[in-house]
Amino acid sequence: MTAQDNNTNEAFLRFVQVKKTYDQQSLVVKDFNLDVAKGEFITLLGPSGSGKTTCLMMLAGFEDVTSGKILINGRNVTDIAPYDRNIGMVFQQYALFPHMTIRENLAYPLKLRKQSSEQVQAKVDEYLKLIELESFGGRYPGQLSGGQRQRVALARALIFEPDIVLMDEPLGALDKKLREQMQFEIKRLHEQLGFTVIYVTHDQTEALTMSDRIAVFSRGVVQQCDAPHVLYENPTNLFVADFIGESNKLDGVVESIDEQQAKVRLTSGATVSARRAAGGVNQVGQKTTVSVRPEKLTFTDNLGENGNRIPARFVTRHYVGEYIRYHFASSCGTELVVKSLNDSAAPRFKSGQEVSLAWLPEFSQALDHPAG
């Protein structure tokens, strides 16, 4: 499966059947196809070793393309040197010059491009104001906080007005609170300036928060490329359902099927209904896994006759501030997690207590059964 362009605008950046191998035997990236519209914020998301950073490095020109091509605004840049691609980069470790002031760091890419001193000064003033560090121009990177340094690194990547900005785990070195602040800062600048972003992360929450679309990688292949809400609500396979957010997985066999739903007999013996995923189950007797998000499960039995219900045994609960995680075990031993708001209605159960868990069929999907 390859990433498909879901945007109706003309593609500004194109990966066309891009492959990458280091040993001429195994492919690190397999037939990567992606069209990106100008101004889009695209995130490459996946576990370590899935191929996402390799794709970023090939776009930057730091890695050779084994086969295929990369085009920016119609220009084939596959064999062009990195400095001729007009690409800005933001790294996790800032990559600021420690012996230069903040003003000098911002001026550096402009001076490389032979801009006049008047142009350089005006641009540096503009971007210091943009990142709200007007009074910090005379300081050195070591005199700034981590968040301030990352804002300077972002401004330096943008100041020469590149065609595309690449961000490789740019917030990985920041603590949780600062990371969330910087997510907002990057999105603010993106919306204000309209630059095109290719963003690499393994943090699913970060990807869901910031992206127009997300390409989910596994073993060099894009499993699905869609808007965040589509990936979360309509994953096309079990890997995506499991990697994006959290998912309860119930194995079973398809008993009956129509255009919209499949009826599945679970390993536990219960029968439930679930939506058919795109490219998912398609025949009676097929093994499947029903995926349902923890926040879609409920303890209440007011879902009407169309609701799914399965018995489960309470194991434990975890307090997580705004919500509570309840852990259950089905009759066949499958772990089930329910997320419930932490309010006065949050129930308490005794260890081993039998509970009926319920959900609506449209809140679950019948996905391809994992190989093996």
- In angstroms, the CA 260 to CA 179 distance is 40
- Strands 164-168 and 87-91, sheet pairing: parallel
Tokens at residue 368, please? 């391809």
Helix (H) or strand (E) holding 183: helix 176-193
Indicate the CATH number of 11-233 among 3.40.50.720, 3.30.1540.10, 1.20.120.1200, 3.40.50.300: 3.40.50.300
pTM (2 d.p.): 0.87
- In angstroms, the CA 289 to CA 273 distance is 12
- The answer to whether the beta carbons of residues 163 and 112 sit under 8 Å apart is no
Non-local CB neighbours of 234 within 8 Å, separated by 6+ positions: 226, 277, 278, 365
The three-point CA angle 203-206-210 to 5° equals 145
Helix (H) or strand (E) holding 205: helix 204-210
Q: How many helices (H) and strands (E) does the chain have?
A: 8, 19
Task: Measure CA 243 to chain center.
Answer: 9
- The answer to whether the beta carbons of residues 3 and 236 sit under 8 Å apart is no
- Which pLDDT does position 372 carry in this prediction? 37
Residue by residue, pLDDT tens for the chain (372 residues) are 444 444 445 799 999 999 999 999 899 999 999 999 999 999 999 998 899 999 999 999 999 999 999 999 999 999 999 989 999 998 877 689 999 999 999 999 999 999 999 999 999 999 999 999 999 999 999 999 888 998 999 999 999 999 999 999 888 877 888 888 889 989 988 998 999 999 999 889 899 999 999 999 998 999 999 999 999 999 988 899 989 989 999 999 999 999 889 999 999 899 999 998 776 788 999 999 999 999 999 987 666 677 899 999 999 999 999 899 999 999 888 999 999 988 877 888 999 999 999 999 999 999 975 443
- In angstroms, the CA 189 to CA 134 distance is 16
Residue 73: name the closest of 126, 116, 109, 36 by CA. Answer: 36
- Which pLDDT does position 301 carry in this prediction? 67
- Which pLDDT does position 8 carry in this prediction? 44
- Which pLDDT does position 248 carry in this prediction? 95
- In angstroms, the CA 156 to CA 24 distance is 37
Residue found by looking up tokens 């981590």 in the block? 146
- Which pLDDT does position 165 carry in this prediction? 95
- The answer to whether the beta carbons of residues 309 and 268 sit under 8 Å apart is no
CB atoms within 10 A of CB 258: 8
- Which pLDDT does position 173 carry in this prediction? 74
Q: How far is CA 19 from CA 34, 67, 198, 303, in A?
A: 13, 5, 18, 49
Per-domain residue ranges of the chain? 11-233, 246-368
Neighbour-count burial of 56, counting CB atoms closer than 10 A to its CB (0-12 exposed, 13-18 middle, 19+ buried): buried
Non-local CB neighbours of 10 within 8 Å, separated by 6+ positions: 37, 38
Residue 45: name the closest of 240, 224, 227, 215 by CA. Answer: 215
User: At the fourth CATH level, which superfamily is domain 246-368?
Assistant: Nucleic acid-binding proteins (2.40.50.140)
- The answer to whether the beta carbons of residues 76 and 70 sit under 8 Å apart is yes
Helix (H) or strand (E) holding 332: none
- In angstroms, the CA 247 to CA 364 distance is 10
Tokens at residue 93, please? 């470790």
- In angstroms, the CA 31 to CA 27 distance is 9
